[in-house]
Structure 1
Amino acid sequence: MDYLHDIQSFLPGIVVAVTGLAAILITAFKKGTASVFYVSVSGLVIALVLAIQSLFGDTGTAFSGMIVYGGPAAFGSVIVLLGSLLSVILSREYLQSFELETGEVYGMLLFATTGMMGLAVSNDLISLFVSLETMSVCLYVIAGLWYYRKTGAEAALKYFLLGAFSTGFLLYGIALIYGATGHTNLIEIAASAQVSPLLLAGIALLLVGIFFKISAVPFHMWTPDVYQGTPTTLTGFMATASKSAAFIALVFVLSRMLSGSETGDWTQVIQVIAILTMIVGNLIALAQDNVKRMLAYSSIAHAGYLMVGLAAGTAAGYSGVFYYLFAYTVMNIGAFGVIAFYERSKEMDFTEIDSYAGLGFKVPVMGVMLSIFLFSLAGIPPFVGFIGKYYVFAAAVQADLIILAIVGVLASAASVYYYLRVMVFMYFKEAHREYTLKAPGTLFKLVLILLAILTIYYGIEPVLPATGLFELLSSFNYA
């Protein structure tokens, strides 16, 4: 009954895939979208509960070693599902305001989530590639929802062309690795590999493809245009769930396939990319007047902070990356959610920073929550973003990567300027014109309040249960 074991090990992903099929079928036979929304939310909640249960269960491999389950893979699935669930809930009112809500959108979100969950558990280059493509094709469609706007058309076209180009690098790299080792399983590649130009070229191309998905410099050029042209709540989905899935896949590639000397030492490459990503992301974010583009370059900088943990190459570093991904998901979806609330009024372009003048007093609760999320993104205590950065920088120090940790701290300090700049406009500038903001729905408000509470709680009390979870992940043998 191995097939039953295989199905059970990937049950959360199967539930999401079936829910996506159900969403498309309901759309085909019904005119309304309310039922599709509730089915999507229900499926994601069930999958999230199953993923949380598997977090405290056994670990192992399934589907002939193609995927892993339990431990970090289960926690990665929890992060992806959490980001997807929150994004779907926040998206309903926003998409309705712009007449973009259709059953197909929820179907694409669910299918993209299925691909992300496949990435989060991949133990084989074939499953990694199939999962990555499943996610990417759906995200290309989501990025083009505003096809009648120049920014929307540019987002879809640029994401598709550059994404397809990066996929070519990834697939060619997989082919070269297979040619050099005769395997696609990560563990088997590490066991049978011998350093050769063919293998090194294959690994380099594979990493280029993954670096594109996580927006690492110099493979980041698509990010600001895609984030700006995509509907805001869906931008939050792309910035958190998809980035988390790609980073988790990268953790498994580095810890399982590239951890030994047989595949070469890639630590220096990761360090250089991390430094470039932190510096470039923060420097360009300083000059942005569009809030969504600022958050796009901010997400590039956060990718650099995450790569600091990867460069450490230790269990503490990898565990810090997982915790940081959780923190980043919570605070970034919250920030995009508040921006989406402002955008719904349509009376002004609330993606431009000038339009935020005096906005903190229009709806004080929303202003306070946006401030909480921005403080957390800047890494200011007592918010969860500070704890996430502490874990990855501390892991770098323990691995004697002092210079890398110092660069990360300085880059994080520089980011305070552009986050606080938004709050200066909100509270210290006078509004240019009168406008009214649409009242948010109950569910929308509850989700944002929950995100704000999580942002504060895990910053003040990281020991309950964050440290226990961190210790659980640290004790796991990633290889």
Structure 2
Amino acid sequence: MSPNIIALLPEYILTIVGVLIMLAEPLLPPAASRKPLGWLAILGTVAAGVASWYQLHLGVLTAFSNSIQIDSFSIFFHLLISAIVLVTLLISLDYFEGSTRHSGEYFALVAFSAVGMMLMTCATELLVIFVGLEISSIATYIMCGFRKGHATGAESSIKYFLLGSFATAFFLYGIALAFGATGSTSIAAIAQGLATTTTPRLAFLALAMILIGLGFKVSAAPFHVWTPDVYQGAPSPVVGFMSTAPKAAAFAVLLRITFSAFGPMQHRWAILMWILAALSMTIGNLGALLQRDVKRMLAYSSIAHAGYILVAFTAFQSDGIAAACFYTATYAAMQVGAFAVITQVTGYNEQIRTTDDYTGLGLRRPILAAFLALFLISLIGIPFTGGFFGKFYVFSAAIHASNVWLAVIGLLNSGVACFYYLRLLVALYARPVTETAQPAKGRTLSVPAGIGLTLAAAATLVLGILPGHFLNLAQRASASTQPVSAPVAATIPPSTR
């Protein structure tokens, strides 16, 4: 089999699944259920995850003139993205049932978005990263406005599209400046060109532009202004997806660009990361304190968690990459799980929005309340959850690199975060039910949604109690971030080339 096929096997699988869904959707009667298309997307996602796991045992692979590199780093994020997509699809199977005739398109868009994100994580060429970024972003823009009859959905989609296009322009301009400074857009060639470039300031400006573009994607302050409005207006399962999977892909790109391409300039960009991390943690947590809408609160919370991940960028390469990978996985588990609960509680129309509307959920729907309580506890960082070990790993890496004050700022912000997470927990269990409280009925918990919630909860607990295997994967990912210059002969037989 050609190395070009082996290297992009998960992407090929998801692309074929997405095309099949788009071809099959118009052939179904308007009143027919689109669930079979959702199950097809789920099977394709599982197959893509299995293909990524298969690649893990093949060593380092390169394809398409070394613009694609499959290593432990890219496979780690491929598996993470596949897991996020799987949970998203499981909780979405019943979400659009009876509310729209075109829900089949949603499942195809999720698959296409995953293709773009996977392409971003394995690309070692900036232009290929740009292509993957656009594939992922365009699909996500459409999904944000998928509730066509809701004005907030249209507002969310348009705002995300306009500001996202603006940020993409910065990223593309950064690529152009990187080419001007080093003569190449390849990550390996940029790293070599920095040693001989006569325009180091131009190279640093290129990195700054790239940081602006990717900072928007990870909703880091001060590029976060779109996040609360977009999260509030988009469908809940879409928010759970877009707040985790695109962030994971963007952080993967950011790790590869900063540590691999611009590694010689770490003494400069580490200062920028220090500032971005402190701003994101502080603005995110203080903004969440003022929110009563649960989705907006979690939107500001995601800004703060982006800051926690950025703390890892100020550490040494081996510690920082492993810590960022591990925290990204833990954040994805608890965030997508929290929005899975919100999806079940609020339903399609999402009339249950504020903290007060969740009053008494522990009595009305104890299973969903227990799941939400677990995810909130993990977001706080209580021991024996993934959130605790993720923060411990990130702050330890920062302290090891002598960034003690940044770790102190992170710990203080973690204390601030307790107030708004605990406020929602109090509403679930300890606040008396009043006549003005909105009954939290939502939809009945289906079997696929229950499986998705269980997977997210299990991952949250395993990452906090038995993190050893995931730590090994994160450390292997950290050791393989340097691009190779040629295909590895031992992994691909000569007859297949």
Matching of residues 18-33 of structure 1 within 5 Å:
18-31=16-29, 32=32, 33=34
For 1:157 and 1:473, locate their aligned partners in 2 and report how far apart those are by CA, in whole Å: 36
Checking the alignment, whether the CA contact within 8 Å between 1:200 and 1:264 is kept in structure 2 is no
| Alignment partner, residue 455 of structure 1 | 460
- CA 1:101–1:82 in 2, change beyond 3 Å: closer, same or farther? farther
**Percent pairwise identity:** 36
Q: 1 CA distance for matches of 2:9 and 2:268? A: 36
Cα 1:23–1:148 change in 2 (3 A) is same
Given that 2:174 and 2:209 are in contact with CA atoms closer than 8 Å, whether structure 1 keeps it comes out as yes
The answer on whether the counterparts of 2:182 and 2:190 sit within 8 Å (CA) in structure 1 is yes
* CA shift in 2, pair 1:336/1:277, >3 Å: same
1:230 equivalent in alignment to 2:234: yes
- 1:140 Cα deviation from its structure 2 partner: 0.8
- 5 Å-filtered alignment, 1:189-208, equals 189-193=190-194, 194=197, 195-208=199-212
The alignment partner of 1:57 has SS state of coil
> For 2:243 and 2:161, how far apart are their aligned partners in 1?
16
Q: Which runs of 5+ in 2 are unaligned?
A: 484-497
From 239, 248, 259, give the equivalent of 1:244: 248
Displacement of 1:34 in angstroms is 2.3
Choose between structure 1 and 2 for higher RCO, CA contacts under 8 A separated by at least 6 residues.
Answer: 2
Residue 406 of structure 2 aligns with which residue? Answer: 404
* Counterpart amino acid of residue 321 in structure 2: Y
Amino acid at match of 1:320: A
1:97, CA displacement in angstroms? 5.8
Deviations 1:125-172 (A, max 9, x none): 101111101111111101111243232121111101101111111111
Provide the alpha-carbon RMSD of the alignment: 1.8
Task: Pick which of 288-297 and 318-327 moved more.
Answer: 318-327
Q: Equivalent of 1:327, from 319, 330, 334? A: 330
Equivalent residues of 2:381, 2:387 under 8 A apart? yes
Distance of 2:147 and 2:413 partners within structure 1: 34
Measured in 2, the distance between the counterparts of 1:165 and 1:297 equals 21
192-201 or 117-126, larger mean C-alpha shift: 192-201
CA distance in 2 between partners of 1:72 and 1:224 (Å): 31
Q: CA deviation at 1:100?
A: 6.7
Offset from partner CA, 1:236-270 (integer Å, 9 cap, x none): 00001111011111110011111014x87211011
With the length of structure 2 as denominator, give the TM-score of the two structures.
0.92
> CA contact under 8 A between 1:143 and 1:230: conserved in structure 2?
yes
- Range 30-39 or range 278-287, more displaced: 30-39
**Normalised TM-score (structure 1):** 0.95
Provide Cα deviations, 1:249-296, integer angstroms capped at 9, x if missing partner: 1110011111014x8721101111111001000000011100000010
Cα distance in structure 1, aligned partners of 2:473 and 2:229 = 36
Pick from 6, 11, 16: which aligns with 2:14?
16
Amino acid at match of 2:68: I
Give the aligned partner of residue 260 of structure 2.
256
* Residue in 1 that maps onto 2:487: none
**Separation in structure 1 between the aligned mates of residue 441 and residue 318 of structure 2, nearest angstrom:** 50
Structure 1 residue ranges without an equivalent (≥5):
none
User: Hey, what does 1:151 align to over in structure 2?
Assistant: 152
Task: Flag the 1:436–1:278 CA change in 2: closer, same or farther, 3 A.
Answer: closer
State the match for 2:344 in structure 1: 341
The one-letter code of the counterpart of 1:315 is S
In structure 1, what is the equivalent of residue 173 of structure 2?
172
- Quick check: 147-156 or 293-302, which moved more? 147-156
Q: Report the alpha carbon displacement of residue 10 of structure 1 after superposing the two structures with TM.
A: 1.2
- Cα deviation for residue 478 of structure 1 reads 4.0
Q: Distance between the aligned counterparts of 2:348 and 2:183, measured in 1?
A: 57
Aligned residue number for residue 127 of structure 1: 128
**1:120 Cα deviation (Å)?**
1.1
Q: Is the 8 A contact 1:309 1:321 kept in 2?
A: yes
What pairs with 1:415-430 in structure 2 (closer than 5 Å)? 415-430=417-432
User: Contact 1:142–1:234 at 8 Å: present in 2 too?
Assistant: yes
Structure-1 separation of matches of 2:429 and 2:347: 21
Deviation at 1:29, TM superposition (A): 2.1
Does residue 301 of structure 1 match 2:299?
Answer: no
Secondary structure at the counterpart of residue 61 of structure 1: strand
CA apart distance, 1:207: 1.3
Match of 1:376 among 378, 381, 384: 378
Deviates more, 1:280-289 or 1:91-100: 91-100
Alignment-derived partner of residue 188 in structure 2: 187
Tell me, in whole angstroms, the C-alpha distance in 2 between the residues paired with 1:448 and 1:424: 21
Bigger Cα displacement from structure 2, 99-108 vs 40-49: 99-108
Counterpart amino acid of residue 140 in structure 1: Y
Distance in 2, matches of 1:56 and 1:375, equals: 36
Indicate the residue corresponding to 2:392 in structure 1: 390
1:272 matched to which residue of 2? 275
Letter in 2 for 1:191: Q
The aligned residue for residue 486 of structure 2 is: none
| Aligned equivalents of 2:98, 2:281: Cα separation in 1 | 36
2:73–2:478 Cα contact (<8 Å) kept: no
